[in-house]
Amino acid sequence: MNSTIRNQWGGLEVISTNNIAKQHVFLIHGYGANAQDLFPLAKYLDEHGQYQWHFPQAPIELESYPNFTARAWFNIDNSLPMPRQYQNLTPKGFHEAANLLTEAILASAIDSSQIVLGGFSQGAMMAIEVVLRAQLQFKGAVLLSTTLINQQRWQRKIDTFPYELNLYQSHGKQDPLLSFENAQALYNMLSSNEKISVNFTSFNGGHEIPQIILQELHEFLL
């Protein structure tokens, strides 16, 4: 599980664990991170290699340091106040990034019904966008510390969502970057479709993945 495979699927580089498994997790990093950021979770959450894990690399390069390059799925408009509010808008480049992720999953030739698609922060925004498009049918979804994008559009997608989906969502009550209130609103929207079963966990903390969430993720994936 420690060694990696580097794939070029569609227009994205995807780093994968070097094991064979019928089931798969695609986990999408957040703004300012890269594909290596969440990679340690593969071993931590899946010590027996039940899943093969895949970590897409965002296309936008922000800054480079020795042995590290910060990346993004879309650029952040710094004129937006904190916490960032996206419920009435769609960020520039958002749909293009979702297209790249969809193309990468298709290019992987993995049966999407065996894929849990998830992410953290900006990565989770991308994950739920790809899921709600319903172009592919996923085994499950994981949304860690994320928010609403264009509430009216996502509500229309949720209203017509066509298949049964198990989804895990978490958010910190003191998150300074993406508000807890909008995370709750996203949960309420998702839960409005009886086909979508949402396990939502809040925690006392900020923009992070604490131990309690890792424990619940482990159980969700079993």
Confidence (pLDDT) at 191: 97
Residue 91 has pLDDT above 60, yes or no: yes
- For residues 51-72, average pLDDT: 93
pLDDT in tens, 196-220: 999 999 999 999 999 999 999 999 9
The ranges assigned to domains in the chain are: 4-221
**C-alpha span between 168 and 191 (Å, rounded):** 12
CATH superfamily of the 4-221 domain = Alpha/Beta hydrolase fold, catalytic domain (3.40.50.1820)
5-24 pLDDT tens trace:
999 999 999 999 999 999 99
Residue 96 DSSP SS3: helix
1 pLDDT higher than 50: no
The 10s digit of each residue's pLDDT in 119-151 is 999 999 999 999 999 999 999 999 999 999 999
- Non-local CB neighbours of 31 within 8 Å, separated by 6+ positions: 72, 73, 76, 121, 122
CA distance 36 to 73: 15
Average pLDDT, stretch 188-196?
97
Q: What is the mean pLDDT of residues 84-94?
A: 93
Average pLDDT of the chain, as a whole number: 95
| 29-61 per-position pLDDT tens digit | 999 999 999 999 999 999 999 999 999 999 999
Q: Is 87 exposed, middle or buried (0-12, 13-18, 19+ CB in 10 A)?
A: middle
Please check the confidence at residue 62 and state whether its pLDDT lies above 50.
yes
Q: What is the pTM of this model?
A: 0.95
CA 178 to chain centroid:
15
Q: Give me 218's structure tokens.
A: 């482990």
Average confidence (pLDDT) over 78-86: 86
The DSSP bridge pattern shows strands 12-17 and 23-28 to be: unpaired
CA distance 128 to 131: 5
Q: Is the pLDDT of residue 2 over 90?
A: no
- Determine the pLDDT at residue 17: 96
Tell me how many degrees the CA angle 97-192-205 measures, rounded to the nearest 5. Answer: 65
The first and second tokens of residue 66, run together, are 């020795």
Cα separation, 55 vs 15, whole angstroms: 5
Q: What is the largest CA-CA distance in the chain?
A: 48
